[in-house]
């Protein structure tokens, strides 16, 4: 008989899966006109609201649970850092709508591709956590940190390019804000990796 997964791992899996689906939606969505931006933003808001509900339910369970499979603060940190990524994606989608930007430049596309890849890495890591294959998580945590470092380079290049070639101050403000939002999401990826590594050290 297959062993039933702990409810906290089920919560974490629901959060990671919602994040993966939302990151894929964000990365693969194609803008044709300004109306598409509203659909894009509203869809990302729905993903974000679903994530908030999942985290809220998880916290309620943590508050009443007598025993947890790993440390409470690690479960909480993992869920919140995943939620922070999703919040960042929604915030960025809202900026696209607010600024009526129907095209991503090459830097944004690179950022988004990394975030999509990392969301899939996180989902795999949560699967491994759920089945207590803790040592196998390490390679995914390392990949997340490598990707976050790569995003630092993209951010530096994007800002340098922006201030070198863009002369319109309004455009500079718009693009800079989106680059900064995407960089903040990358920082959240590192937070997930750090928590995963802490869980490995404390439980393996």
Q: How confident is the model at residue 183 (pLDDT cuts 50, 70, 90)?
A: very high
**Domain for residue 176, yes or no?**
yes
**Domain for residue 131, yes or no?**
yes
pLDDT at residue 1 is higher than 50: no
pLDDT at residue 3 is higher than 70: no
**Domain for residue 84, yes or no?**
yes
**Domain for residue 2, yes or no?**
no
Q: On the CB side of 12, how many CA atoms lie within 13 Å of its CA?
A: 29
- The count of domains in the chain is 1
Q: What is the mean pLDDT of residues 127-143?
A: 95
**Domain for residue 198, yes or no?**
yes
**Domain for residue 17, yes or no?**
yes
Residue % of the chain over a pLDDT of 70: 98
Q: What is the mean pLDDT of residues 9-18?
A: 97
CATH number at residue 116: 1.20.58.220
**Whole-number pLDDT of residue 89:** 98
**Domain for residue 125, yes or no?**
yes
pLDDT at residue 144 is higher than 70: yes
pLDDT at residue 204 is higher than 90: no
pLDDT per residue as tens digits for the range 33-55: 999 999 999 999 999 999 999 99
Helical H runs in 29-105?
Answer: 34-64, 72-98
Residue 89: give the domain boundaries: 7-203
Predicted TM-score (pTM) of the model is 0.95
Asked if residue 51 lies in contact with residue 86, where contact means CB atoms within 8 angstroms, the answer is yes
User: What average pLDDT is seen over the chain?
Assistant: 95
**Whole-number pLDDT of residue 2:** 47
**Whole-number pLDDT of residue 4:** 62
**Domain for residue 1, yes or no?**
no
| Vertex 42 angle, CA 37 and 48, to 5° | 125
Euclidean distance between CA atoms 192 and 16, whole angstroms: 11
């Amino acid at each position: 008989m297959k062993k039933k997964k702990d409810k906290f791992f089920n919560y974490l899996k629901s959060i990671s899966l919602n994040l993966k689906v939302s990151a894929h939606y964000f990365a693969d969505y194609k803008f044709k006109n300004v109306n598409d931006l509203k659909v894009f933003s509203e869809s990302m808001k729905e993903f974000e609201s679903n994530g908030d509900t999942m985290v809220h339910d998880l916290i309620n369970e943590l508050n009443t649970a007598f025993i947890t499979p790993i440390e409470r603060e690690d479960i909480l940190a993992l869920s919140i850092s995943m939620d922070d990524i999703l919040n960042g994606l929604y915030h960025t989608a809202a900026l696209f709508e607010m600024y009526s930007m129907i095209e991503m430049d090459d830097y944004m596309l690179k950022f988004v591709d990394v975030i999509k890849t990392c969301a899939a890495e996180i989902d795999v890591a949560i699967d491994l956590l759920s089945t207590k294959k803790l040592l196998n998580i390490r390679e995914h945590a390392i990949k997340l940190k490598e990707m976050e470092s790569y995003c630092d380079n993209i951010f530096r290049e994007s800002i340098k390019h922006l201030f070198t070639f863009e002369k319109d101050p309004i455009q500079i403000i718009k693009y800079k804000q989106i680059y900064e939002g995407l960089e903040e999401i990358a920082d959240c990826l590192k937070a997930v990796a750090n928590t995963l590594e802490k869980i490995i050290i404390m439980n393996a």
